[in-house]
Structure 1
Amino acid sequence: MTNAPRLTRKTTAPKAGIVHLGPGAFFRAFNAIYSQDAMDHSGGDWGIVAVSLRSPTARDQLRPQGGAFTSVSLGPDGADYRQIESIVDVLVAPEDPAAVVAAMSDPAIKIVSLTITEKGYCHAPSTGRLNLDHPDILHDLANPATPRSAPGFIVEALASRRAAGTKGFTVLSCDNLPSNGHLAREIILSLAAERDSGLADWIAENVPFPATMVDRITPATTDRDVAGLAQAQGIYDPACVNHEPFRQWVIEDSFADGHPAWDVGGAQFVRDVEAHENMKLRCLNGTHSALAYLGYLGGYETISDTVSDPAYAAFCQNLWAREILPAVEKPEGEDLNAYTAALLDRYRNPSIRHRTWQIAMDGSQKLPQRILGTLSAGLAEGRDCSGLILVVAAWMRYVGGVDEAGQPIDVKDPLADKLRAASDSAVDPAGKVAALLAVEDVFEAGLAANPEFRSSVTQAFEGLCENGARACVAKAFS
């Protein structure tokens, strides 16, 4: 704790026009700042009601500060500080779900945006379909007025707006998922159809689901960050957020009732986001996950620590050149080689302490989009995919829950127990690999049954067990 005075709001709060589900560090470092830029430049009632679907932490941090927080942009040469005041209230869904539905039902709300991570969509990542056996979905179907899941809240709020004769809002997914707008639409329509086919038809006609591509490296805020801000600026702000200077937001231009002037902050409104999405998911998120699993197993705490090892930097560069870029369509106006070179420079930024353990979280939800899609395309086209296969094997080693020194790994994943049980069901590497490939939530059946893939993953897993991650990374493209 510090004796520094607590951050306070300086300006009158704008009226709310956005409800945002998932007020974590990335939202504060990204959506909230773009909206602040838009209102600073063009005005408008685009304040944000932030909704936590689980923990009261964000509310407890932000409400005493009137929703204000500090953005700390960490470049290699130092930090820039800025107070952000686009958040006007914070709700905690489990405490009062009716208040959340009421906020989203307000006709003044024109956009409901999401940063709920992959697992928040309650879908099977291997298929992209709504998981009707998900506990939260079962609850929301039985108790629609008191939802638990993000899809449940959206469907209930839209049902309320339909009944009141109010137009629909835009559902804006800002999560790292391929075709995130399409996925959000399919999940919401599937859940609505389980309740009322007429409601599903109304949503299909009245609610846009634009796709987006979002990019800004944002570590989780730590006590050390809060203490550092207090020392540097003389204020106590537990809601502060650290991030890199770089940011990019590409948005499909499809909205029900307008949007903030996000473009003044550099957002790009386009007709089709898909090429940008694939570039970012495969080039950035794919190598982030690769460095997370192989770096953690190799004993590195952060991404910048990991790529400071020349073997890991070379692995990353070879992964892009040989296996990822051949599977990426070049978006208009982008130079893919320059893009990946800039990514490596971003990874090397020593001011950004992005922990490998943090990026490794929820791997069962991330692997299909970040790694397996690229790998499947490569295998289908006859390319060597040994680097990506090593990443899959590293994920398997990681979710087994024991590191190379025999110490336990705190695996944070919605399927953690299932994955650990699969790994523990066999003693030998081949058995472990076979058991994990049988987890249909992660591996599409055709890929899991591919004999070349199974054999290669088994061989890579054996190499990790025998030689360790660092040696395998150094040898990967030799």
Structure 2
Amino acid sequence: MTTKLSLANLEQVKKTAGVPSYRRSALTAGIVHFGVGNFHRAHQAVYLDALFNAGRDHDWAVVGAGVLPSDETMRVKLESQDFLTTVVEQDNNRTGAHVTGVMIGYLKPGDVAATVAQLADPAIRIVSLTITEGGYFIDPASGVFDATHPAIAADGADPENPKTVFGLIVAGLKARRAKGVAPFTVMSCDNIPGNGEVTHAAVCGLARLSDPSFAEWIDANVAFPNGMVDRITPATGPREIAIVEADYGIEDQWPVFCEEFKQWVLEDKFPLGRPALETVGVQFVPEVAPYEHMKIRILNGGHAAIAYPAALLDIHFVHEAMEDADIRAFLAKLEREEIIPVVPPVPGNDLDDYFKLIERRFSNTKIGDTIPRLAQDGSNRQPKFILPSTADRLRRGEDVIGLSLVSALWCRYFAGTSDSGKNIVFNDASADRLHAAAVKAKDDPAAFLALSDIFGEVAASELFRRRFAKALRTLWKKGTRTTLRLYLDDRLAD
């Protein structure tokens, strides 16, 4: 027998899972969060839940918001269970579930008036975002905000009817200024280097299209703290829903599964105040960049490195990829010889120890993270997680055999079939042009590197072009496993 997740049923739910010790009726909103996906509910919401359970800061509850059709699907499902979420934390030696209740409402996507009114409420002091790496309208090659993107251009031309997250934020800030209300802090929780600076550029860049003087006001008055976030959080599917029902007797339409480990490093730039997150494990530092580089290059870069060889070898789960001796050794050699050496020092952290932690996390058999999740959205992830390391090494005059192989594996993946001939299902906004370029690259490797908005200056390097071409031709001629072994034996270079 299962129990439907709801406020009314928490007494029953607590027989198998932890439940909030705070009264939901005692919470008031202090945060509007755009992008109520799995990561937000496994990360920011979990930290807030711990804080509320400690009896602290009950005026910092969350109101969800979004702009995509998937946001409406999430809103409907969460509303039907009083905005509660079952979070299942899984480690190789421990599994446990608890229910979070920090969200007290969810704005209907498309309701501009209601969203702007909520943003203009003086009680809202933070607007946070998890809108994925691809949601910031950044030109991949230059790393600069793309003010010409059709969605941004449309919001710039009609700022009273915004359709993007940034258009809504600009409208909310303008409404606050008109009412004499101090501006909220805008806090990105996405895996982007300098995510606060990137968000700042997007908000100001959009505002500048319709009201340059207001853009200057935003630049002078709104805080955009940088932050580093980390917790491996796979997608939810029928498997996860069934596990929550079978193991915990809870009927949750969209539970979240995640690893036990979590980390959040933030700059302390919150003019209107903030929750006391330092009491529940958030680290506040003067400069986030070293932590960002460590995490994005070693962890996210590691994910990007193993995704495509695993997909080409028909491996579905991340832990299964780590059980494959060739893939595990490929990751270790790549990290230690090419990625870690160009990661700047991080206060209080040994980078080799950090990589050992990453290896253990990737090897977690309980979490069920998938290769298709790691392989998605490569057109946004490769320029952020892999190519910066490649560019750094090239600037230093160092070789890029392993990093070129990562790019070649990505290209081979986008040809559309695994080594066994199985069709690959792409999940990338640029899938059509990536596929077309990858097919051409089988005979002409330079065709893939001609995607200048992705490869940028890296493609101009003769060494990188040569290493990429050799790796790609070897993948086509000898297959993924043999190519990995040639790299491991130092026999892939020409």
- TM-score clears 0.5: yes
Q: Tell me which of 295, 299, 307 is aligned to 1:292.
A: 307
Please tell me whether the aligned partners of residues 24 and 101 of structure 2 are also in contact (alpha carbons under 8 angstroms): no
Kindly, what percent of the aligned residue pairs are identical? 38
Mapping for residues 14-413 of structure 1, pairs under 5 Å: 14-41=27-54, 42-54=56-68, 55=70, 56-94=72-110, 96-413=111-428
Please tell me whether the aligned partners of residues 301 and 386 of structure 2 are also in contact (alpha carbons under 8 angstroms): yes
1:440 aligns with 2:452: yes
How much has 1:462 moved relative to structure 2?
Answer: 0.9
SS of the residue corresponding to residue 88 of structure 1 reads strand
Q: Which amino acid aligns with 1:50?
A: G
How much has 1:399 moved relative to structure 2?
Answer: 2.3
Give, in whole Å, the separation in 1 of the partners of 2:284 and 2:194: 15
Please tell me whether the aligned partners of residues 298 and 468 of structure 1 are also in contact (alpha carbons under 8 angstroms): no
Q: Which amino acid aligns with 1:109?
A: I
**Structure 2 spans left out of the alignment, 5+ residues:** 11-22, 490-494
Q: Which amino acid aligns with 2:29?
A: A
Please tell me whether the aligned partners of residues 58 and 90 of structure 1 are also in contact (alpha carbons under 8 angstroms): no
Could you tell me the TM-score, scaled by structure 1's length? 0.95
Please tell me whether the aligned partners of residues 226 and 266 of structure 2 are also in contact (alpha carbons under 8 angstroms): yes
Could you tell me the TM-score, scaled by structure 2's length? 0.92
Paired residue for 1:418?
433
Give, in whole Å, the separation in 1 of the partners of 2:293 and 2:261: 19
Please tell me whether the aligned partners of residues 253 and 269 of structure 1 are also in contact (alpha carbons under 8 angstroms): yes
Give, in whole Å, the separation in 2 of the partners of 1:163 and 1:130: 27
Q: Which amino acid aligns with 2:189?
A: C
Please tell me whether the aligned partners of residues 186 and 225 of structure 2 are also in contact (alpha carbons under 8 angstroms): yes
Give, in whole Å, the separation in 1 of the partners of 2:163 and 2:133: 16
Give, in whole Å, the separation in 1 of the partners of 2:162 and 2:417: 37
Please tell me whether the aligned partners of residues 93 and 148 of structure 1 are also in contact (alpha carbons under 8 angstroms): no
Paired residue for 1:456?
467
Q: Which amino acid aligns with 2:224?
A: F
After superposition, give the CA deviation of every residue in 1:396-452 in whole Å (9 maximum; x if it has no partner): 12223332233332211121122223334x2x5352x322222222111x2212111
1:4 aligns with 2:2: yes
SS of the residue corresponding to residue 219 of structure 1 reads coil
How much has 1:340 moved relative to structure 2?
Answer: 0.5
**Structure 1 spans left out of the alignment, 5+ residues:** none
CA RMSD of aligned residues (A): 1.5
Q: After alignment, is 407-416 or 172-181 more displaced?
A: 407-416
SS of the residue corresponding to residue 92 of structure 1 reads coil
SS of the residue corresponding to residue 59 of structure 2 reads coil
Give, in whole Å, the separation in 2 of the partners of 1:324 and 1:400: 26
SS of the residue corresponding to residue 129 of structure 1 reads coil
- Seen in structure 2, the aligned counterparts of structure 1 residues 412 and 92 have a Cα distance that, compared at 3 Å, is farther
SS of the residue corresponding to residue 80 of structure 2 reads helix
Give, in whole Å, the separation in 2 of the partners of 1:186 and 1:115: 16
- Aligned pair count? 471
Give, in whole Å, the separation in 2 of the partners of 1:322 and 1:50: 43
Please tell me whether the aligned partners of residues 252 and 269 of structure 1 are also in contact (alpha carbons under 8 angstroms): yes
